[in-house]
Structure 1
Amino acid sequence: MKNILLLITGAAIGFVAAHQINKTPEGRRFFEEVDSRVGEFTGAVVDGYKAREAELRAAVAEAEETIADLKRAAE
């Protein structure tokens, strides 16, 4: 219970500090830069995920085709 209270207190202090920092022009620029980098990172993760998903779908389609060929050959 103590750890949860400390976590909530730390989050609240962090939120208040971030809000105060965001009020300054330098702070606003800092948070805009952080947001931009997070957006770039997220975009890269999504692109990588989609590329890997496409690779896996192609591999599954190829495996299904090979299985179907083997079944036809066994008949």
Structure 2
Amino acid sequence: MKQLFFVVIGVVIGFAAAHRIANTPGGARFFADVDARAKAFTGAVADGYRSRDAELRTDD
């Protein structure tokens, strides 16, 4: 139970720090870059999934 408490406290502190950092110009650019990279990655994974799904459906 004590470990869960410290994990929750760490998450809260992390969110608070990220919020403060995101309010600075450099932090906003950083988070925009992270967001763009995450979207590109998820887009590539989705494209790969669709491609493989189409490939498997045509093999039937």
Shift of 1:3: 2.2
Secondary structure, counterpart of 1:12 in structure 2:
helix
User: Match of 1:28?
Assistant: 28
TM-score by length of 2: 0.92
Matches within 5 A, 1:1-75: 1-59=1-59, 61=60
Secondary structure, counterpart of 1:54 in structure 2:
helix
Question: What runs of 5+ residues in structure 1 fail to find an aligned partner?
Answer: 62-75
Count, aligned residues:
60
Q: Aligned partners of 2:3, 2:47: CA distance in 1, in Å? A: 37
Q: Aligned partners of 1:52, 1:11: CA distance in 2, in Å? A: 37
RMSD: 0.8
TM-score by length of 1: 0.75
Structure of larger gyration radius = 1
Shift of 1:49: 0.5
Q: Aligned partners of 1:42, 1:36: CA distance in 2, in Å? A: 10
Percent identity between the two aligned chains = 53
